Amino acid sequence: MKIVNRKARYRYQILDEIEAGIALTGSEAKSLREGRGSLLEAFSRIKDGEVWLHNFVIPLYSHASPSGYDPARPRKLLLHKNEILALSQKMSSGGLGLVPLACYFSQGFVKVRLGLARGKKQYEKRETIKRREQEREAARAIKLRS
Protein backbone atom coordinates (compact mmCIF):
# COMPACT_ATOMS: atom_id res chain seq x y z
CA MET A 1 0.00 0.00 0.00
CA LYS A 2 1.35 3.39 -0.97
CA ILE A 3 -0.60 6.63 -1.14
CA VAL A 4 1.08 9.23 -3.36
CA ASN A 5 0.42 12.96 -3.60
CA ARG A 6 0.74 13.24 -7.39
CA LYS A 7 -0.07 16.96 -7.48
CA ALA A 8 2.78 17.86 -5.11
CA ARG A 9 5.57 17.57 -7.69
CA TYR A 10 3.47 19.55 -10.17
CA ARG A 11 2.56 22.37 -7.75
CA TYR A 12 5.88 22.61 -5.88
CA GLN A 13 9.59 22.48 -6.50
CA ILE A 14 10.87 19.87 -4.02
CA LEU A 15 14.22 20.93 -2.53
CA ASP A 16 14.71 18.24 0.12
CA GLU A 17 12.94 15.08 1.29
CA ILE A 18 12.63 13.57 4.75
CA GLU A 19 10.88 10.48 6.16
CA ALA A 20 8.74 10.78 9.29
CA GLY A 21 6.60 8.46 11.37
CA ILE A 22 3.00 9.38 12.10
CA ALA A 23 0.89 8.95 15.25
CA LEU A 24 -2.35 7.15 14.32
CA THR A 25 -5.14 5.27 16.03
CA GLY A 26 -5.55 1.57 15.30
CA SER A 27 -8.54 2.00 13.01
CA GLU A 28 -6.70 4.68 11.00
CA ALA A 29 -3.75 2.33 10.43
CA LYS A 30 -6.13 -0.43 9.33
CA SER A 31 -7.87 1.95 6.95
CA LEU A 32 -4.48 2.86 5.44
CA ARG A 33 -3.67 -0.86 5.06
CA GLU A 34 -6.79 -1.08 2.89
CA GLY A 35 -5.22 1.62 0.69
CA ARG A 36 -7.68 4.31 1.67
CA GLY A 37 -6.50 7.87 2.27
CA SER A 38 -5.87 11.12 0.43
CA LEU A 39 -2.88 13.45 0.61
CA LEU A 40 -4.24 15.77 -2.08
CA GLU A 41 -4.90 18.85 0.09
CA ALA A 42 -2.57 17.89 2.94
CA PHE A 43 0.13 20.16 4.36
CA SER A 44 2.45 20.22 7.37
CA ARG A 45 3.17 22.88 9.95
CA ILE A 46 5.68 23.20 12.78
CA LYS A 47 3.97 24.34 15.98
CA ASP A 48 5.56 24.47 19.44
CA GLY A 49 8.50 22.31 18.36
CA GLU A 50 6.25 19.59 16.90
CA VAL A 51 5.37 18.82 13.28
CA TRP A 52 1.66 18.38 12.51
CA LEU A 53 0.07 17.02 9.34
CA HIS A 54 -3.22 18.75 8.43
CA ASN A 55 -5.95 17.70 5.96
CA PHE A 56 -4.63 14.15 5.51
CA VAL A 57 -7.98 12.44 4.98
CA ILE A 58 -8.17 8.86 6.27
CA PRO A 59 -11.72 7.50 5.87
CA LEU A 60 -13.29 5.48 8.65
CA TYR A 61 -12.19 1.83 8.73
CA SER A 62 -15.00 -0.35 7.41
CA HIS A 63 -15.28 -2.44 10.62
CA ALA A 64 -14.84 0.42 13.14
CA SER A 65 -17.56 2.28 15.03
CA PRO A 66 -18.20 5.77 13.61
CA SER A 67 -18.66 7.53 16.96
CA GLY A 68 -16.85 10.87 16.99
CA TYR A 69 -14.43 10.09 14.15
CA ASP A 70 -12.88 13.03 12.26
CA PRO A 71 -11.25 11.82 9.01
CA ALA A 72 -9.23 15.04 8.52
CA ARG A 73 -7.98 15.64 12.07
CA PRO A 74 -4.43 17.00 12.55
CA ARG A 75 -1.94 14.17 13.08
CA LYS A 76 1.41 14.43 14.80
CA LEU A 77 4.50 13.53 12.77
CA LEU A 78 7.33 11.81 14.60
CA LEU A 79 10.76 13.32 13.97
CA HIS A 80 13.91 13.77 16.02
CA LYS A 81 14.33 17.18 17.63
CA ASN A 82 17.42 18.02 15.55
CA GLU A 83 15.46 17.22 12.34
CA ILE A 84 12.64 19.53 13.44
CA LEU A 85 15.11 22.32 14.25
CA ALA A 86 16.83 21.95 10.87
CA LEU A 87 13.48 22.06 9.06
CA SER A 88 12.29 25.11 10.99
CA GLN A 89 15.55 26.95 10.23
CA LYS A 90 15.21 26.22 6.51
CA MET A 91 11.53 27.24 6.53
CA SER A 92 12.22 30.50 8.38
CA SER A 93 14.27 31.75 5.43
CA GLY A 94 10.92 32.34 3.71
CA GLY A 95 8.87 30.91 0.89
CA LEU A 96 9.31 27.28 1.91
CA GLY A 97 6.78 24.80 3.23
CA LEU A 98 6.45 21.13 4.15
CA VAL A 99 4.40 19.06 1.71
CA PRO A 100 3.58 15.36 2.18
CA LEU A 101 4.66 13.43 -0.91
CA ALA A 102 3.72 9.85 0.00
CA CYS A 103 2.43 7.65 2.79
CA TYR A 104 3.49 4.00 3.03
CA PHE A 105 4.26 1.12 5.38
CA SER A 106 7.88 0.39 6.27
CA GLN A 107 8.54 -2.67 8.45
CA GLY A 108 5.00 -2.49 9.84
CA PHE A 109 5.11 1.23 10.66
CA VAL A 110 3.29 3.97 8.76
CA LYS A 111 5.73 6.49 7.30
CA VAL A 112 5.15 9.82 5.57
CA ARG A 113 7.65 11.21 3.07
CA LEU A 114 7.76 15.00 3.42
CA GLY A 115 9.23 17.43 0.94
CA LEU A 116 10.69 20.83 1.76
CA ALA A 117 9.07 22.73 -1.09
CA ARG A 118 8.80 26.09 -2.79
CA GLY A 119 5.62 26.87 -4.72
CA LYS A 120 5.88 27.03 -8.51
CA LYS A 121 4.64 29.99 -10.50
CA GLN A 122 2.10 29.44 -13.29
CA TYR A 123 4.72 29.73 -16.06
CA GLU A 124 6.87 27.09 -14.33
CA LYS A 125 3.89 24.72 -14.27
CA ARG A 126 3.36 25.31 -18.01
CA GLU A 127 7.05 24.54 -18.65
CA THR A 128 6.68 21.28 -16.72
CA ILE A 129 3.69 20.27 -18.84
CA LYS A 130 5.49 21.21 -22.07
CA ARG A 131 8.62 19.23 -21.09
CA ARG A 132 6.51 16.17 -20.16
CA GLU A 133 4.67 16.28 -23.51
CA GLN A 134 7.96 16.58 -25.43
CA GLU A 135 9.32 13.53 -23.61
CA ARG A 136 6.17 11.56 -24.50
CA GLU A 137 6.45 12.61 -28.16
CA ALA A 138 10.10 11.50 -28.25
CA ALA A 139 9.22 8.15 -26.65
CA ARG A 140 6.42 7.63 -29.19
CA ALA A 141 8.76 8.46 -32.08
CA ILE A 142 11.37 5.99 -30.83
CA LYS A 143 8.69 3.32 -30.36
CA LEU A 144 7.40 3.82 -33.92
CA ARG A 145 10.91 3.50 -35.43
CA SER A 146 11.60 0.15 -33.81
Classify residue 96: in a domain, yes or no: yes
Classify residue 110: in a domain, yes or no: yes
Query: Which backbone phi and psi does 79 adopt, to 5 degrees?
Result: -135, 160
**CATH number of residue 114's parent domain:** 2.40.280.10
Give the 3-state secondary structure of 16-74. EEEEEEECCCHHHHHHHHCCCCECCCCEEEEECCEEEEECCECCCCCCCCCCCCCCCCC
Classify residue 69: in a domain, yes or no: yes
What is the structure's pLDDT at 105?
94
Centroid of chain to Cα 57? 12
Domain ranges, residue 16:
2-120
Residues 60 and 66: their CA atoms lie apart, in Å, by 7
Classify residue 146: in a domain, yes or no: no
Classify residue 81: in a domain, yes or no: yes
Q: For the chain, what is the largest distance between any 2 Cα atoms, rounded to a whole number of angstroms?
A: 60
Residue 55 Ramachandran class (φ > 0 left, ψ -120 to 50 alpha, else beta): left
Bridge partners, residue 13, by sequence? 118
Reported as a pLDDT band with limits 50, 70 and 90, residue 145 is confident
What is the structure's pLDDT at 65?
79
How many structural domains compose the chain? 1
Residue 35 has pLDDT above 80, yes or no: yes
Residue 146 has pLDDT above 90, yes or no: no
Classify residue 60: in a domain, yes or no: yes
Classify residue 127: in a domain, yes or no: no
Query: Can you tell me the mean pLDDT for 103-131?
Result: 92
Classify residue 55: in a domain, yes or no: yes
